Structure 1
Amino acid sequence: MNTTKETAHIKPNGVEIAETILLPGDPLRAKFIAETYLKDVVQFNSVRNMFGYTGTYKGKKISVMGTGMGMPSMSIYSWELIHVFGVKNLIRIGSCGAIQDQLNLYDIVFAMGASTDSRYVHQYKLPGHFSNIASFSLLEKAKKIADGKDLPVHVGNVLSSDIFYNADPTAVEKWKEMGILSVEMETAALYMNAAYAGVNALGLFTVSDHILRNEQTTPEERETAFTNMMEIALELA
């Protein structure tokens, strides 16, 4: 990687960004991961307080950086990481809201697909509908890691929504009927950017709340307590 490159949003100041990067939405979660799991850590970004770090995990170089909330934010950071900094494996680690009865707080979800209510795909001018899917190589490896740790996971379709406070009270039930496991706000854009660039992407989530049962974790737990998901993602490096 050319360590002299920078963008308006990412200024590494000569620090290398690894080919594999973990992408939590919360920059403080990126800081927690770097300080808890990585060795020889160097911070590569602080622009807009979107903290990014590079270090090693079990001898392998890995980076971690926050992306903020929503597909516009994810699309900017992931595009720059891919096209400017040469990242090849982008692993979103985030929280999600469950909408199926079999999911509970702290369960782990692997996004095999990411449905969306966003119009992000329209930029590609495709003559049909595009299915936003994970990199199978990353998904397969993540599932094997989870099985090795005896961690039950739910693999399936999530919804990447542009809407957090929805004026349509029936929307969640409609997505539930289509088998959507949970709702988050970034992965579809990540999958589209990765597909268009020919690189790998995967979304891993911990259930932070159950939308239909009105159950939720605390902000502090969302920042630091999702360690099983974090450790699966780190093993993918």
Structure 2
Amino acid sequence: MSIHIAAKKGEIAETVLLPGDPVRAKWIAETFLDHPVCYTKIRGMLGYTGSYKGKPVSVQGTGMGIPSALIYCHELIKDYGVKNLIRVGSAGSYQKDIKIRDIVIAMAASSTSNINNIRFLNSDYAPTADFDLFMKAVQYSRDNNIPVKAGNVLSSDQFYEDDPDSYKQWAEFGVLCVEMETAGLYTIAAKYNVKALSVLTISDSLVTKEKTSSEERESTFTKMVEIALGTL
């Protein structure tokens, strides 16, 4: 058993969907998986395993931010042998043409986090998606007529910025949206030679100031989950 998950060996599938919100983890398991079983409730960070079209799949909440997400990713990989980690989360749009509820697939993740500067002193490491998972997600989206955007996202350590216009420089350089975990996920997946992908739903826009409610973010972002499961 690991410290923060404490599931038994064999209770977690090799493919895990990773919402930040544990309530969303519960909703995904109960909505999309057959016969879901809860394998952890530690710290309220729910995890479930069920099946999707006959294939075992787990869903694990990770909390908000890279430090929290890395705890769960590390234990999933090292203690439970997980091979595919797919983040299904919300993000804030940085671009006019990326609207509320649009889907963004993260090809790469810039970051304001210092997590990789600790590893790569005086250098910049570029965390990127697994190509195989990325192509499967894109193909599934095309086959099922789900419009997606793909490109660079920002993994920020701050949810509330001092300067409300600070996003504009990132937007100028083509960054599509902001979230808080992908750079850490892609880095740890690369370190341990496993596959990772982030599929994001736009929950608010820094350009138009539109927002979705917490209830909507927890239980209505279905398309990104369908895409994530479609990679199977």
CA contact (8 A) 1:95 1:208 kept: yes
* One-letter code aligned to 1:88: K
Tell me if 1:216 matches 2:211: yes
Change (3 A) 1:33 1:169: closer
Q: How far, CA to CA, are the matches of 1:102 and 1:28 in structure 2?
A: 29
Unaligned 5+ segments in structure 2 are none
- The match for 2:227 among 217, 227, 232 is 232
- The match for 2:125 among 125, 130, 135 is 130
Offset of residue 143 of structure 1: 0.2
Offset of residue 154 of structure 1: 0.3
CA contact (8 A) 2:37 2:49 kept: yes
* One-letter code aligned to 1:124: R
Partner SS, residue 199 of structure 2? strand
Aligned equivalent of 2:89: 94
* One-letter code aligned to 1:203: S
CA contact (8 A) 1:15 1:42 kept: no
Offset of residue 123 of structure 1: 3.4
5 Å-filtered alignment, 1:112-127, equals: 112-125=107-120
- The match for 2:13 among 3, 18, 23 is 18
Q: How far, CA to CA, are the matches of 1:166 and 1:173 in structure 2?
A: 12
Offset of residue 14 of structure 1: 5.3
Tell me if 1:109 matches 2:104: yes
Offset of residue 15 of structure 1: 5.3
Root mean square deviation, CA, Å:
1.2
Offset of residue 126 of structure 1: 5.2
The alignment of Structure 1 onto Structure 2 pairs a total of residues equal to 232
- The match for 1:29 among 21, 24, 27 is 24
Q: Which runs of 4+ in 1 moved over 6 A?
A: none
Unaligned 5+ segments in structure 1 are 1-5
Offset of residue 24 of structure 1: 0.3
Give TM-score, length-normalised by structure 2: 0.97
Partner SS, residue 174 of structure 2? coil
Tell me if 1:195 matches 2:171: no
| Percent sequence identity over aligned pairs | 50
Q: How far, CA to CA, are the matches of 1:174 and 1:66 in structure 2?
A: 31
Offset of residue 39 of structure 1: 1.0
Which deviates the most, 223-232 or 163-172? 163-172
Aligned equivalent of 2:49: 54
Tell me if 1:139 matches 2:128: no
Partner deviation per Cα, 1:22-81 (whole Å, 9 max, x = no partner): 000100111011111111211111100100000100000000011000011011110111
